[in-house]
Structure 1
Amino acid sequence: QCATTTRSGTPTREDGRDMGLPDWWTRTRCGLMFQANLASVPAWAPIGEYAGWYRAHVDGGTRDVLLHPSPLVETLAHHRDRWDHVDSYADFLPFLTFDEFDADAWTSLARDLGAGYAVMVAKHHDGLCWWDAPGSQLTVMGDGPKRNVLAEFSAACERAGLVFGTQYSLLDWTDARYPGRAYVDDVVHPQVLDLVRRFGSRMLWGDGHWGAGGDHWRSDDLLGAARAHDSDVVVNDRWWAAHADVRTFEYQMPPDIVHSPWELRRGLGGGLGYNRAERAEHLLDANGIVSLLTEVVAKGGHLLLCIGPDATGAIPDVVQERLRAAGGWIRRHAELISDGQPWRHWGDEGCRYLDVNGIVHVVDVGGGGRFPHLLPDVARVTAIESLDGAPMRFEQGSDGVQLERRPRHRDRLPTVYRVELEEPPEPPIELFARTAPEPIPLAPLLADAAPGTVVQLGDGTYVGPADVPSAVTLRGLGPDRTRIVGTPPSAPGSRRQAPITLQSRARIEHCHLERPEERIAWLPLPVVELVGEGTSMVGCHVAGHVAVSGDQARIVSCEAGGVVVSGADAAEICRSTFVGMQWDCAVDLDGGAGHVVEGCDVHDALQALRLTGTVEASVRGNRIRARWWGVQLVDTEGTEVIGNSMTATMRAVDVDGGTLTRVTSNAVIDGDTGCIVQRGASDVEITGNHWQGCRVGLLTWDAGRVRQRDNTTVDAGEADVVNGP
């Protein structure tokens, strides 16, 4: 159950009870997390992945890996070349010396950043405990560092005036008792309460919770005991408890202001800790950190920035330099960050708006001096000044505010302006005021539609669910004018029905479609279902997913969260835009033959396109930016991947099994690997591709026949081609 906030700003739970969040949480908006485990020794993952998951990446038998690939062939290749003399993951422990660890240096770095709380990983998924943990034999006391690292760090936090917190993983890849009752009773509960009672942990940052539910972990009892000991303890939502204090977002920025306590966790790079594979250009610089923090604060949240040490306990120099450079700005603007609250709009890519004690402040992150949300009908701007009191000349018009001249700063970090506003006068009383039209039920409008009929919708909101009958066209006036929404399920747990279902040869055009339910994690949220043969969608905006089960469906010039095609043939997806939520698959084609995905923009997903068991599919001319996969082909036959542009994606093309695949004329920039061929994939042709700024151009691992020619690799971080095992 997530928290909500009343209109007055008082934090409450959804059941209306006061959350009672402690002062330390409300007065600080930035925290620093130190991510370390046994994987800090190899400290390696492909660019974009989590180095802390090294064990799962080399051991395909690791349980409860969730979305992470296990094993990961990139890591298998690295382990072969660098750590082949290490027989098992546990054998890394003697190399974890931590002889350069200085707890006060860590807390000094947090203070220099401007953080108010510091969180240390007490136990990660690999089970290594960083203190003399009760119920565990795998600690840093007997081998490796041979010191109580967590105790030293908690004491250093107290000296530095930082709130001390701990991350604790319920998942344990090492303990044979996991996830049984003995593990819960003898390991989890004693260890978590020890962190609170003995070391004063005031943030219990749960993780690795997906192997069981809250009843199994007895989370309510555990967290209740922790809060009984210290009422200032704050818990996140990864314990499966009935009541969490803070909602967690990981590498997933909310699109707008969130009216409940929330926190964004992410690293400087693509992973949470130290990764040797990441170069300086893969890490946020000072401007990126400031831009990130101000967006989080403008949307009402907290930022938990994650870094990690190497095996000696030292934080890399480039990380320290960037944190301190950003921290100079953050500390100079401490009041803005600690007291700033969301204004009417959070801002955009160029600026952020914050209300500080009733005065609007604008953070000019883009440096353009343009503030488009300061419109005359919102409030008349009477004065703008920089924080040192210098008045600024500006113009306010129908496109907002534009500064005439902007001051220059040597550090090139954002300038902050105070804005004086005068509320517009009250509008005149309308004698015949118009009322908003009531939503119109859609199903009756379609009930008697005959084949060949065009049902024209007007301006306003229409309510589903409704079926579009065979060979009927449902036409709107444009996504900004015609809106179709679903209704909530009639009872908890009942089947959620999509607002619109298209039967054979039915067509929907130029509508905005959404449903009232909130999406659950990365699971698809079907808003439109194309169940009949030969259906079409044209020019629609879909706040969710399109589910396709009928053959020969066409989706053209649409915007959506994604498409799921299940068992159908000949789906055609063209000139459309799909925006993910960082942990999902945008276009998922499962089975069928003859699919075409062409000319689409796909970004912000974990997987841009995934094809599983398809035959004779074509993926061509798309523009892709994803986290881990651009195009993943799983056991497909006769797939062609041609002429796509892929940027900053870990695996641009992944041929995972299957046969007769052509990967031709694709341009890949700044990913980890341009193309992977693995798991017995055979008769694969890799020709004419351009791989620039990738760590590796082509990686083949346990592959069959692969023909590669005329590929160009530019500025490869490690190698043009890697073969294995």
Structure 2
Amino acid sequence: MRDTDKPMNMPRWWDERRYGLLVDTNLAIVPAWGPIGQNADAYQQHLGSDPDSSSRPHAPLAEVLAHHRDRWGHIDRFDDFLPLLTFENFDAETWARLAVESGMTYSVLVAKHHDGWCWWDAPNTERTVTHGGPRRNVLAEYAAACERNDLSFGAAYSLLDRGDERYPEASYVTDVIHPQITDLVTRYGLNALWGDGERGHDTRHWLTPDLLERLREINEDLVVNNGWAIPGPDRASTPPSIRTFEYVLPDDIIDEPWEHRRGIGSGFGSNQIEPPEHHLSGFDIVALLTEVVAKGGHLLLSVSPDLDGSVSTLQSKPLLDAGSWVRRYSTLVNNSMPWSTWGDEDVRYLVVDDTLHAVDISGRGRFAALAKGHFQVDSVERVDDTASPSDNDATELRFRQDDNGLQIDLKVAFGHSRADTTLEIAVYRLQLSEPERPIELFEPTPATPVPLAPLLASADPGDVVQLGDGTYSGPATVPAGVIISGLGPGRTIIRGDGGTSVSLERNARIEHLTVSGVADPSTSDPTPIVEVVGPYATVLGCHIKGRVAVRADDALIRASSAIGVLSTDATRLSVSRCQFDGTQWGVGVHLTGGGDHEIDSCELHQHLCAIRVVDATGVVIRGNNISARWWGVHLEQTERAHVHGNQISHTMRAVDVDGGTQALIEGNAVADGDSGCVVEWGAAACHVNGNRWERCRIGLLAWEATGLHESDNRSIDLLEPNRALVIGP
């Protein structure tokens, strides 16, 4: 069983409060609008008024410019929204009760967003909502309500400031940021201080180590996140730091303190155009919360109030639907520890009082991790309420255990749906013992990885180096014309010790194996696991636990899986029948320069951008199945690109032609995104023909585009029915 010792440097409140509410207060709640899949709280940035150049190329967004033109044409400056922020229905007690009734135990309010407006009577600025808009100290009222309702209270503060002319001068840091943050911690007794907006400057500019060291002296129970630009060596004397994951979960259990942060919808902020099906349901929240806790984390769900200060039913109802289950099993949420494995899509495993509990998300009573050879299951009880566990709150059940796992005998076969409003997600208490094992005459010894480089030292062009079962250690370079063949990705593994694990020279090939490295593939580390350095190299039938970099012509990547592929100044790259799964950030296939590339019949999911092509000619993108956060296919300054026959769903921009000439976009099927196609910023002589756009907000958006030819496109069930074609400015 996994070591369940809690982190020694964390305050007790953090260990015992795992589920929180983030109240995303900012001036963007007045327009309350963004393309579906984008952050509505970034409305100011999307208009193009952003001094922080690192946010490009995400701003300005043509969709927001078009909406602002049509709806808010009389608003010239973002700050002109302030008088409309009335907050006449704001009641801090109602916000706090929403958190409590949702089963939450802590709450964080955004004290200052990137727009620079402070939600309390902050020192050294006139940009506060006590001087305009609500003319109330919203933060003070909410902090008091949290205290009355036993919610640990925290504040989020953006170092970025789009409204103060003093930003980002050194005097702004010392005269504004430091006094304001100190004021928050001193006057309002914060338990949590979440930073953001640190990008573009380092700790020498923000002086955050000194600041946080002083704050720790004020409140030794203060916890901060990793948004303060503090390198590792400077953290020893600062408050305990939390690693933040936004809209993406780690793959496995993480031992260090971490928090998953996301909105109820597909982006942060209240978005009035986003339909209910793009929001979490109560079932989704319970499934998410239990996965987070089973992986050792905390969950902070964000809501954004309306301009009158109320929280919409669209956001509150899923929280309350989940709340009945969360309150019922509060001990499981707040006082459990991860087991040896977190679970899978069907079940979550948690340990309470040294006893294993299983949360049956699928409702099928099947638990694959409890196979007979690994554990002996002695008893299974259904637990009705872990908030007050007793011998009377459980019903013992019949079950069978075999090599495929544990199967509970359910009288009625049933399953759960994300649309369920009455949540009956079962929790089982399991008593385990060690299975009988044969006596081992010899103590097993772990296999030692075999160095790969010596096996290739004498290989000549045309040789096939056959690898067997087991692990081989890199790094290694596959010589020109040599093939490395494994027994399958699950059997033959090449593992690097840092940096690139395998490099391929001219005509070299790797096939039927796994390549991994020591870097965390969920991070933005650009170091590739596999690198193509010679022409005509091939990757076939491999599982790459990271990224592939292509730096030579005529490379072939086929029937393989990876996080992504990066090609720079190469030509004729062919990527086909591959699976690329991202981490909600980054690009799946990123092609810069060169030409005549083909991306064919691939699966690309969970990236910020699935396919991006920059400054390339004659690229063909066809027959792919894509879902991504912001871009499906993004063409930047390309010539003669051909995008056809792709299926793209749940993606903000299915196809984005950003400059360039003669793009042909035809025969693509798009569903459940914001737009079917965007042609923008100088794109010329583009043809958009025969596409199908279903359940999107709009069909085709042309913004500062010339020579556009569009025909035979079908728009079905658009959220804005009369917006099959939008032209601007």
TM-score by length of 2: 0.94
Matches for 1:472-491 after TM superposition, within 5 Å: 472-488=482-498
> Which string of whole-angstrom CA distances, capped at 9 and with x for unpartnered residues, describes residues 262-292 of structure 1?
0000001111221112111111010011111
Match of 1:399 in 2: 404
Asked if the contact 2:378–2:433 (Cα under 8 Å) also holds between the matched residues in 1, the reply is: no
1:36-115 mapped onto 2 (5 Å cutoff): 36-59=25-48, 61-66=50-55, 69-115=58-104
Q: Secondary structure at the match of 1:636?
A: coil
Amino acid at match of 1:210: R
Alignment of 1:270-349 (within 5 A): 270-349=266-345
Output aligned runs, 1:687-698, within 5 Å. Answer: 687-698=689-700
Q: Spell out, residue by residue over 1:520-542, the C-alpha distance to the aligned partner (whole angstroms, 9 max, x if none).
A: 84343300000101000001111
Match of 2:117 in 1: 128
Identity within the alignment, %: 47
The verdict on how the C-alpha distance between 1:380 and 1:67 changes in structure 2, with shifts beyond 3 A counting, is: farther
> Using the alignment, how far apart are the partners of 2:448 and 2:651 within structure 1?
45
Deviation at 1:390, TM superposition (A): 2.4
Partner of residue 387, structure 2: none
The question of 1:219 aligning with 2:219 is answered no
CA–CA distance in structure 2, aligned partners of residues 721 and 416 of structure 1: 48
AA in 1 matched with 2:199: W
**Cα pair 2:321 2:422 within 8 Å, conserved:** no
CA contact (8 A) 1:103 1:153 kept: yes
Whether 1:376 and 2:372 are equivalent positions in the alignment is: yes
Measure, in 2, the Cα distance between the counterparts of 1:426 and 1:227.
52
Give how far 1:8 is off. Answer: 5.4
Alpha-carbon distance, 1:60 to partner: 5.3
> Which of these residues, 607, 622, 625, is aligned with residue 624 of structure 2?
622
- Deviation sequence 1:178-207 (CA, Å, 0-9, x none): 222101101111011100101111100011
Whether 1:724 aligns to 2:728 is yes
Q: In 2, Cα distance between the equivalents of 1:595 and 1:286?
A: 44
Q: Is the 8 A contact 1:625 1:646 kept in 2?
A: yes
Counterpart among 470, 475, 480 of residue 465 in structure 1? 475
Q: Secondary structure at the match of 2:701?
A: strand
CA–CA separation in structure 2 for the residues paired with 1:406 and 1:256:
33
In structure 2, the partner of 1:597 is 599
SS in 1 for 2:174: helix
User: Counterparts of 1:248-287 in structure 2 under 5 Å?
Assistant: 248-287=244-283
Residue 642 (structure 1) aligns with: 644
- More divergent stretch after superposition (430-439 vs 77-86): 430-439
1:525 aligns with 2:530: no
TM-superposed deviation, 1:143: 1.1
Match of 2:391?
none
Against the structure 1 CA distance between its residues 520 and 251, is the aligned structure 2 distance closer, same or farther, given a 3 Å change threshold?
Answer: closer
Partner of 2:150: 161
Q: Name the counterpart of 1:420.
A: 430
**Shift of residue 322 of structure 1?**
1.5
Q: Distance in 2 between matches of 1:320 and 1:61?
A: 31
Superposed CA RMSD: 1.6
Counterpart check, 1:437 vs 2:447: yes
How much does 1:70 deviate?
0.5
Aligned length, in residue pairs: 705
Partner of 1:542: 544
Q: Which moved more, 1:317-326 or 1:425-434?
A: 425-434
Unaligned runs of 5+ in 1: 1-5, 12-17, 489-495
Structure 1 contact 203–233 (Cα < 8 Å) conserved: yes
SS of aligned partner of 1:99? coil
CA 1:26–1:434 in 2, change beyond 3 Å: closer, same or farther? closer
Deviation at 1:342, TM superposition (A): 0.9
2: CA distance, partners of 1:642 / 1:50: 29
Please give the alpha-carbon distance, in whole angstroms, between the structure 2 residues aligned to 1:291 and 1:214. Answer: 37
Q: Give the aligned residue type for 2:55.
A: L
Partner of 1:491: none
Aligned to 2:511: 509
Cα deviation, residue 429, structure 1? 3.5
The SS at the match of 2:673 is coil
Contact 1:366 1:414 in 2 (8 A): no
For residue 343 of structure 1, what is the amino acid of its counterpart? W
In 2, are the aligned partners of 1:526 and 1:545 still within 8 Å (CA)? yes
Classify 1:43/1:487 alpha carbon distance in 2 versus 1 (closer, same or farther; 3 Å): same
Partner Cα distance (1:273, 1:425) in 2: 51
What is the distance in 2 between the residues matched to 1:68 and 1:115?
37
Q: Look up the match of 2:134.
A: 145
- Say if 1:384 and 1:417, in contact at 8 Å, map to a contact too: no
Amino acid at match of 2:505: Q
How far apart, CA to CA, are the structure 2 residues paired with 1:570 and 1:424? 56
Stretch moving more, 271-280 or 66-75: 66-75
Corresponding position of 2:19: 30
Amino acid aligned to 2:728:
G
Alignment-mate amino acid for residue 169 of structure 1: S
Which amino acid in 2 is paired with 1:288?
Answer: D
1:153 to partner: Cα distance: 0.9
SS of the equivalent of 1:391 reads: strand
Unaligned runs of 5+ in 2: 385-393
Question: Which string of whole-angstrom CA distances, capped at 9 and with x for unpartnered residues, describes residues 431-479 of structure 1?
Answer: 2444222211111111121111111111111111111111111111111
- Partner residue in 2 for 1:493: none
User: Deviation at 1:170?
Assistant: 0.7
Q: Tell me if structure 1 keeps the 8 A contact 2:374–2:435.
A: no
Aligned to 1:710: 712
* CA displacement 1:390-444 (0-9 Å, x = unmatched): 2323221111122232567985524233333332345333224442222111111
Q: Which amino acid aligns with 1:198?
A: R
**Is contact 2:363–2:426 with CA below 8 Å preserved after alignment?**
no
Q: 1:532 to 1:629 in 2, by over 3 A?
A: same
2:554–2:572 contact (8 Å) kept in structure 1: yes
Deviation of 1:61 (Å):
5.0
In the other structure, the counterpart of 1:365 is 361
2:517 alignment partner AA: R
Aligned with 2:66: secondary structure? helix
The one-letter amino acid of 2:287's match is: S
1:632 to 1:523, Cα distance in 2 relative to 1, 3 A: farther
Task: Name the SS of the counterpart of 1:659 in structure 2.
Answer: coil
User: What is the rounded CA distance, in whole Å, between the counterparts of 1:513 and 1:100 in structure 2?
Assistant: 57
Per the TM alignment, residue 212 of structure 1 is displaced from its structure 2 partner at its CA by 1.0
In the TM superposition, residue 23 of structure 1 has moved relative to its aligned partner by: 1.4
Q: Displacement, 1:65?
A: 4.7
Query: Relative to structure 2, which stretch is displaced further, 185-194 or 440-449?
Result: 440-449
Q: Distance in 1 between matches of 2:593 and 2:410?
A: 58
Identify if the C-alpha distance between structure 1 residues 60 and 143 changes in structure 2 by more than 3 Å, giving closer, same or farther.
closer
Q: Is the 8 A contact 1:381 1:419 kept in 2?
A: no
Give the structure 1 partner of residue 389 of structure 2.
Answer: none
Quote the Cα distance in structure 1 between the aligned partners of 2:296 and 2:522: 21
> Could you say which residue in structure 1 is the equivalent of 2:395?
390
CA contact (8 A) 1:124 1:168 kept: yes
Alpha carbons 1:581, 1:605 under 8 Å: kept: yes
Find the residue that maps to 1:682 and give its secondary structure. coil
Q: Secondary structure at the match of 1:179?
A: coil
What SS class does the counterpart of residue 270 from structure 1 fall into? coil
CA distance in 2, matches of 1:428, 1:662: 66
Offset from partner CA, 1:618-653 (integer Å, 9 cap, x none): 000001010000000001111111111111000000
